[in-house]
Amino acid sequence: MAFVVLGICGSIAAYKAADVASSLVKAGHEVHCVCTPAALNFVTPLTLHTLSRNPVICNLDDEMTDWMPMHIMLAQKADVLAIVPASANTMACMARGLAPNALTSLYLATRAKVLFFPAMNTQMWEHKATQENVSILLSRGHSVIGPAEEGTLACGTTGKGRLVPVEQITQAILNCI
């Protein structure tokens, strides 16, 4: 059984993280969800708590229940940190070492394998700043899987930017365990 931390960012694709959490639990793994504040616009902690069978961390104030901050404990126990979906904002924070929330703070504290599954508008994905941030993350030995090559995005444009299928995400995580 592996210990998987599932980071969820603000993107319309955040609802698919619930399916990923459910799939990993069904496969016998321990799953802990950590949401950015923006993720809560798209998915609820109750859904993730129910499917992961573990409390959900949404902000650093959620961590006041024990002497060790939860983001540090999760970072130390994680076998894999999977960011599903990875927003441009969170990838930029992580690439630049910024820690404005529980997920980005956890990232700085973990030594686990890190997988990013980007989902964003095509222009955001193709922007030079985003591509530089992806290069930085890749240079650290992290994996960036996706976005899907083509498709209609929630914003109405067509192009690269959609989250890869849940089955592909789950398989990539399982391959790291």
Structure tokens at 87: 């927003």
The single residue of 9, 33, 35, 155 carrying the catalytic annotation is 155
Given a cut of 90, whether residue 171 has pLDDT beyond it is: yes
Given a cut of 80, whether residue 72 has pLDDT beyond it is: yes
Active site residue 9: no
Q: At 42, which CATH number?
A: 3.40.50.1950
Name the pLDDT band for 64 (thresholds 50, 70, 90): low
pLDDT tens figures, 136-167: 999 999 999 999 877 776 777 777 879 999 99
Given a cut of 60, whether residue 22 has pLDDT beyond it is: yes
- Look-up: residue for tokens 């990539």? 172
pTM comes to 0.94
Domain count within the chain: 1
Cα–Cα distance, 159 to 142 (Å, whole number) = 24
Q: Is the separation of the CB atoms in 48 and 124 below 8 Å?
A: no
Q: Which domain holds residue 157?
A: 3-176
- Across the strands, what pairs with 136? none
